[in-house]
Structure 1
């Protein structure tokens, strides 16, 4: 561990923090919008116990990484992921990406190739394309995207409170909810809004079609943040040979609400 860097350097000089635990085949864990790598703690412990090495970066502007004014576009964020993979010399990698992490993962394969990647796991993905256009009619209208962003810009804590209930399960503990609220609010609002816009307008339909690695997509059928039929199901239809696992009654925060089932499916997929 002493020889492994706690930080990697992005193309523009931004310092990116990355947890790196364990030995064995590597698993790269990419977090959701306004989440940092701390959210993967339970998964890291479980993966380490099974003999996997876990690398989990904090996205720029999040957690312990630098907070530059720029670089929250899709390609820069993707290049940040590439910097983590390359500077940690990760090979035969399983990428596990939750929510926003999915756009970085899918774009990584299109932009940097699959040479270092063994397989892909998308957890409640926001791919392939969220916003409604003429050639993407069954998606979220631009006016709705703009209204949500305006509400966040006006009062982020209020917006979080109004949207919290369907994000978790009814039995999710208050201390877990408070932890996530604090994590989300620790991200500067300009960063949160810039990332949210990147998620909304990332068109990864062509990139998803080009994926040739074994892919598992896990999605809840009660996901309000990224509805199954708009995201996970569409993504599965684009990635040849992918497997879609639908969790009945499950919301968006699957690593928090359905960790045991997620890990069981993940181990079965990686060991196949």
Structure 2
């Protein structure tokens, strides 16, 4: 399996589909999944002639799982390591959920080198946590409960979380039992340490200062039915701060729209990448 070694010695698994000369698209996965979550976007876009690349964040999937640290400066440096190792140019970055944070911090920390455009899909950018200067945010107790559930019974917590993630309810689910099992398997491959520490990272990191570094075309996509990462405090706020960005609202779509709305997402990304 192909891996990239970071400057601090961490081995990152990646998949790379398409010709080396094709326009590159780098996909950054969400919590607590891995690169495989992008199957329904990477495959058709690669068949359209793009070069689609995705990697497992440190601590997740097939990448190394060190004890620490799991913060966005480290994650942004790992993204830089991927772009540098593959010598990518004019890259489109696509980040889902906590993966949008990598994009925001990379743009500010590394000046947007090698990047031509970015897409934020159901992301935590610009800020999730409720604070005195962010009163509409999510109460810290919600994340404390997540950490407590993971520490007490990680498999059961992630099983229950998957239902919220995809908008499943008593009357049915927009995804199959197979999809639920597949994504649970992905989640359980992650390091318990990374899984817990990343809850703190994506909930407590304030990306509002990083928004000034968004100097490339930006696409924002979010479901109005997202109960995991509310659009009103994330996508809407990012769109307001980035007036030249394109903001696409997916009516009633849950957080996991990379599955529930996979064809629409792929089409919108394809159109944006080629525009």
TM-score by length of 1: 0.95
1:231 correspondence with 2:234: yes
* Unmatched tracts of structure 1, length 5 or more: none
**Worse overlay, 35-44 or 91-100:** 35-44
d(CA) in 1 for partners of 2:46, 2:15: 13
Query: In the alignment, which residue of structure 2 is the partner of 1:104?
Result: 102
1:120 correspondence with 2:118: yes
Give the conservation status (yes or no) of the 8 Å contact 1:59–1:77.
Answer: yes
Query: In the alignment, which residue of structure 1 is the partner of 2:24?
Result: 26
* Unmatched tracts of structure 2, length 5 or more: 168-172
Query: In the alignment, which residue of structure 2 is the partner of 1:88?
Result: 86
1:10 correspondence with 2:6: yes
Residue 268 of structure 1 aligns to a residue whose secondary structure is helix
d(CA) in 2 for partners of 1:239, 1:41: 29
Q: Structure 1 residue 197: deviation in Å? A: 0.8
Q: Structure 1 residue 165: deviation in Å? A: 2.5
Query: In the alignment, which residue of structure 2 is the partner of 1:243?
Result: 246
d(CA) in 2 for partners of 1:70, 1:10: 14
Give the conservation status (yes or no) of the 8 Å contact 2:158–2:187.
Answer: no
Residue by residue over 1:168-227, the C-alpha shift from the partner in whole angstroms, topping out at 9 and shown as x without a partner, is 152311001000111111212111001111101111001113311111111001101101
Aligned residue pairs: how many? 268
1:39 correspondence with 2:42: no
Residue by residue over 1:140-192, the C-alpha shift from the partner in whole angstroms, topping out at 9 and shown as x without a partner, is 11222212211221112222333333321523110010001111112121110
1:262 correspondence with 2:265: yes
d(CA) in 1 for partners of 2:50, 2:248: 23
TM-score by length of 2: 0.94
Give the conservation status (yes or no) of the 8 Å contact 1:103–1:127.
Answer: yes
Q: Structure 1 residue 45: deviation in Å? A: 1.2
